[in-house]
Amino acid sequence: MEGIQIQDDAQPYSSMAGKLDPRLLKALDVMGFSHMTPVQQRVLTELPTWRTDCLVQAKTGTGKTLAFLLPALHCLLQPHAAPPKGQVAILIISPTRELAQQIAVSCDQLTSQLAQPLECHIAVGGTARASAHSRFMKGNPSILVATPGRLKDYLSDEYTAEKLANFQTLVLDEADTMLESGFLADVKQILQLIPPKKTGWQGMCFSATLPPKVKDVVKVVLKSGYTSISTVQENETPTHERVPQYHVIIPSVAETFTALASLLDVEINQCSKIIVFGVTANMIALMAKVFGQGLTPLKVFEIHSRLSQGARTRTTDQFKEASSGILFASDVIGRGMDFPNVDLVIQVGLPPNGEQYVHRVGRTARAGNDGRAIILLTPAESFFMKVNRHLPIQPHPETKAVIEGAAAYADPVTQAMYNTDEEVKQRAYSSYIGFFAGSGLLKQVRLDKPGLVQLANELAIKGMACPEPPPMDKKVIGKMGLKGVPGFNYATGGDSNGRSAPRNRGNQDRGNQNRGNQARGNQARSNQDRGNQNGNRRDALSPGAGQSGSRGGVEKSRGGRGGRGGRRGGGRGGKPQAAAA
């Protein structure tokens, strides 16, 4: 959690003395937060009571977490207000594991000044269910932060559901993300499994946008007459006004990696903490492997839905603490996540939609700091700017230097690709095809199905230094809706389960200067193939082909410089700090 540089007319938390529980005020002081952000101030001062149902619209990075935790915790701490011991009082539903963990950290900090801190438990997918469930059942959880799938699992067990039978407050955080990411069915089922609204529990719905799906759920979560609060101006630019946004149009998809290397070289003079988003989780994995071989002087971090939860948690913590580095990321951190002092967000390829573009950009210029955003597209993908004219995306002022500088990275990128396991490249290739085949974007990029395969082959051969298109399983191709489309390198062989081994594997090593290591890697590949082919299918066939913005990526698959930091830490002009949870 980090501080937000607040407005000049912001109210101090001390003005809530006598209204907000003094132990919470003390915790805020210990945390270093003295003034409220606009959303915190409006929730704490405009709700008729802190048990009133509310719909709150505010952009990410504006302090929404504390805006719902403070009133909910205050009500829980009042005499005779708590439910029976061991019963959950506050239930918070979050779209991603990372955001759920972030909320839990904020909750623990806020309750740290209690004589007996309240237990805040997490129930998220991709983790060891047995151990987390055992802690939940044996403990005395007052707060539960959960992702939809795992919460539905808990509520479907009658014995477990008993611990959720007396909750007082239900919070839907990042409701638009959750419902647009494929969780609508889960959320509706959860609302059927919990006690009915007539039992009197409070509903709090927080969302950056209000699409129709959110409005449908609001009708069930909030009773009529609820309070509506918005800190988003009707005609406000949908991204932070402090973020200059640029595009770089590269000549062809073959220059994807070299152009990114050149762009980073240009930007690194003024940016030292960078997040790079890609089109799929497996494409991000490839970028991290390649750029981690010395293509940038900055330390490389990697986070996406194909990693284990332990690896994702470590990466989240490390990048938050780092003063510099590049985080190659999928949309598991696309919304709501706070990473201090991010200078620059780069998006390589098309985002799922304009809304997700906006949320990715929102990872920078947080806490009142400056930030930049750049999107790297091919000419065919440049339609994105035309269909999103409301976004203030301008041509990058150094586009020429970026394009011309890409040639200098041709050999280093090629060598890094030679040193990268062919299975990593195969998964990236497969997921790239799946992204376009499953997203309905072919017409917009003016491609037919054979053209898509040709484009992907160009990316593989010229961009990834593959001697031929990576092999694809016929069943995977068929499930993509591409059966019979020419241009594929079909895998041959297989086992009783229908898994196939790629053909011409020996040729994949051509041109590799590190044949000794490649040979050792090949000895283990037959085993790797059996473990990875199913993963390839999932990545290629999931909605959005591995985008963490789909349900498969959001939950189900879960697995500045020193001087600048001093200025950002709140010392600018003596500005007071407020919570950015």
- 530: helix, coil or strand? helix
Q: What is the CATH number of domain 245-519+535-546?
A: 3.40.50.300
Strand pairing class (325-329; 202-207): unpaired
Indicate if the pLDDT at residue 551 is higher than 80: no
Q: Which pLDDT band, with edges at 50, 70 and 90, does 82 fall under? A: confident
From 157, 344, 381, select the one nearest 249 (Cα to Cα).
381
Angle CA 529–533–538, to nearest 5: 155
Indicate if the pLDDT at residue 391 is higher than 90: no
Of 192-201, 240-249, 461-470, 572-581, the least confident? 572-581
What pLDDT, on the 0 to 100 scale, is given for residue 7?
56
Domains 3-230 and 245-519+535-546 share a fold: yes
- Spans of all domains in the chain: 3-230, 245-519+535-546
Domain 3-230 has CATH 3.40.50.300: yes
Indicate if the pLDDT at residue 555 is higher than 90: no
Indicate if the pLDDT at residue 204 is higher than 60: yes
DSSP output for 257-291 = HHHHHHHHHHHTTT-SEEEEE-SSHHHHHHHHHHH
Take residue 577 and report the two structure tokens written for it. 């700090």
Contacts 24+ apart (CB under 8 A), 404-409: 404/262, 405/262, 405/265, 405/266, 406/250, 406/255, 406/258, 406/259, 406/261, 406/262, 407/258, 408/262, 409/257, 409/258, 409/261, 409/262, 409/265, 409/295
- Whether this prediction's pTM lies above 0.85 is answered by no
Instruction: Determine the average pLDDT of the residues in 445-450.
Output: 94
Q: Which pLDDT band, with edges at 50, 70 and 90, does 558 fall under? A: very low
